[in-house]
Structure 1
Amino acid sequence: MAHHLQHLIEQYGLLAVFLGCLAEGEGAAILGGFFAHQGVFGLPAAVLASFTGAALGDMGFFLLGRRYARHPWVQRLRARPGFARADRLVRRHPNAFVLLNRYVYGMRLVGGVAAGLAEIGFWRFAVLNLVSALAWAALFTALGYVFGLGVQEFIGRALHAHQRLWIGGGLLVFAGLAAVIVRTWLIRRARELPT
């Protein structure tokens, strides 16, 4: 079983990191760094997968807002808590917003659409998005890599590779549950804030 799990992670781990980073993705980037530390794949490959997923995801949200402003899905996003705030911020500070939006949990999706609706130029958004995605991918992948160092030191080198992979899987489940709890808290808090 453990050998099968390791094989799956080696085979599809970078794809999973890429797909996880298309949306919110911090957990996917951190796990990419963790598995890079465990030697499942290289650190540069994990950073590249995180960067590509993050950059393409935000570009997709931007184009969605730009080209399909009247689509029902975009209209539902505009009704989400936090969208009015994102819209105000992107219109006041467009460069800073595009550079920093991905660091605010729960704002990436609505932030990309808000940037598209704010009529920021395509090339301006693209350049700022690439710079931001590269810094973001390097930061969160490095956090996962350093976390892998800490786990190895804390638990010891005696664990076999498959046991460390199980730890990584458990961390993924924990990160997912924590993300749901934080997202729920942020949505509840955004509803309480005046618009």
Structure 2
Amino acid sequence: MTETIHLLVEKYGLIAVFLGSLAEGESAAILAGFFAHQRIFVTWQAIAATFLGAFGGDTLFFLAGRHFSETRFVTGLRNWPGFDRAFRLVQEHPAAYVLLNRYAYGFRLVGGVAAGLSGIALPKFVFLNVVSSAIWATLFCTIGYVFGLGAEQMMGAALHKHERLLIALGIGLAVAALGWGVAHFSSRRAARREIS
């Protein structure tokens, strides 16, 4: 069973990293770095897949806000807690907002739409998004790479295939749980502020 999963990760893992990085992709990026350290992925390919997913996702959400503002998808995102705050921030500090939005877990989806609804010019957004996506992809892949190094230090130089998968699963679940907790706490806090 683990052999089959390992082969699937080797064959389709970078596609999964790309797809996972389209939205809230921290766990996908960290897993990409971990698998790069374990030599399942080539490091530059892991970073490239993460970068392309992050850049593509934010650009799609920006374009959705810019050109499809009346669709059910965009109007639904506009009703999320924190959207008004995100829209206000992008109006006040457009460059800083585009550069830093992806680090506010739980707000990347609404952040791209808010940027699209703002007056930011498309070329400026694309340039800032390239810079931000490159830094983000490198940072989170490096974190995963360091996790791989730590696992190797703790378990020995040669991690077996099933150990790699179990460690990666643990990392993915921990990051997803942490991200969910942060997003849940942030949205409840934003909802309380809006009520006050």
TM-score, scaled relative to structure 2: 0.95
Bigger drift between 162-171 and 42-51 goes to: 162-171
Equivalent residue, structure 2, for 1:73: 73
Q: Distance in 1 between matches of 2:114 and 2:174?
A: 30
Question: Once the 2 structures are TM-superposed, how far is the Cα of residue 87 of structure 1 from its aligned partner?
Answer: 0.5
**Contact kept? 1:50, 1:137, Cα under 8 Å:** yes
Q: By how many angstroms is 1:170 displaced?
A: 2.6
Measure the CA separation in 1 of the matches of 2:193 and 2:86: 13
1:193 CA drift (Å): 1.5
Q: Secondary structure at the match of 1:22?
A: coil
Report the count of equivalent residues.
195
Name 2:59's counterpart in structure 1. 59
| 1: CA distance, partners of 2:19 / 2:126 | 20
Question: Deviation at 1:83?
Answer: 0.4
Which stretches of structure 1, 4 residues or more, deviate above 6 A after TM superposition?
none
* Matching of residue 191 in structure 1 with residue 191 in structure 2: yes
The 8 Å contact of residues 38 and 161 in structure 1, kept in 2 or not, is answered as: no
Give the CA deviation at 1:183.
Answer: 2.0
Residue of structure 2 equivalent to 1:122: 122
- Confirm or deny: 8 A CA contact 1:66 1:119 kept in the other structure: no
The match for 1:144 is: 144
Name the CA distance, whole Å, in 1 between partners of 2:174 and 2:134: 26
Question: How far 1:173 sits from its partner (Å)?
Answer: 2.5
Q: Output the aligned Cα RMSD.
A: 1.3
Which residue of 2 is the match for residue 5 of structure 1?
5
Would the aligned equivalents of 2:21 and 2:29 in 1 still touch at CA under 8 Å? yes
Question: Any stretches of 5+ residues in structure 1 without a counterpart?
Answer: none
Q: CA deviation at 1:158?
A: 5.1
- Partner Cα distance (1:137, 1:159) in 2: 25
